[in-house]
Amino acid sequence: MIRIAIDMRGESGSPPAPDVLIARIAGEQHGVASRAQLLAAGVAAGAIERRVRGGRLHPLHRGVYAVGHRAVDGNGRDLAAVLACGAGAVLSHQSAAARWEMIRGVWRGPVHVTASRGGERAGIVVHRARALHPDDTTRDHGIPTTSPARCSISPTGFPYVRSSEPLHRRRFSSSPAGRNSPRW
């Protein structure tokens, strides 16, 4: 789960109202929040359900909501997918490559996420990995993402990088094994 530091006290020192807690979490996360985060912040399960029924929380994925409206931007869409896939999940593959501007244009396909567990989700392509080395992950705009080095080569060996624009001024060349690899 993505953890965020939020002051949970109200102006009088008492706990703030649920809507204030929800707004604080979503305000730090591109307008989205997970059920687990809301519960951890002290928002009761019944309060979450009432807000879903009342149209103040909009389900994007199971257990992940857009706050106030469904119109989240690309960052919100990506973060919602990562949150839906659970603790340790990261944006990966084509979605990460697009974030690092390694592919042409805007990625309009499903969101690709690498996670150690969890089932398939509508609109999300889940790739399995037991664990990722800390050097292989980073955050971009608060979104856990595979690093540019990790996503620079797809599992098939085909570089995502735009052929006319090298990744961070590095060119790709063929390795002796016949796969494309970065020449650092």
| pLDDT for residue 2 is more than 80 | no
pLDDT of residue 151: 79
When comparing pLDDT for 163 and 112, which is higher?
112
**Contact residues for 154 (Cβ-Cβ < 8 A; gap 6+):** 93, 160
Using a pLDDT cut of 90, give the percent of the chain over it.
49
Helices 18-27 and 45-53: angle between axes, nearest 10 degrees: 80
- In order of 102, 114, 147, 168, the CA distances from 182 in angstroms are 13, 22, 14, 11
* Residue with the two structure tokens 């996420």: 113
Q: What is the mean pLDDT of residues 109-130?
A: 86
SS3 91: strand
| pLDDT for residue 8 is more than 80 | no
Q: What is the pLDDT of residues 32-58, one digit of tens each?
A: 999 999 999 989 999 999 999 999 999
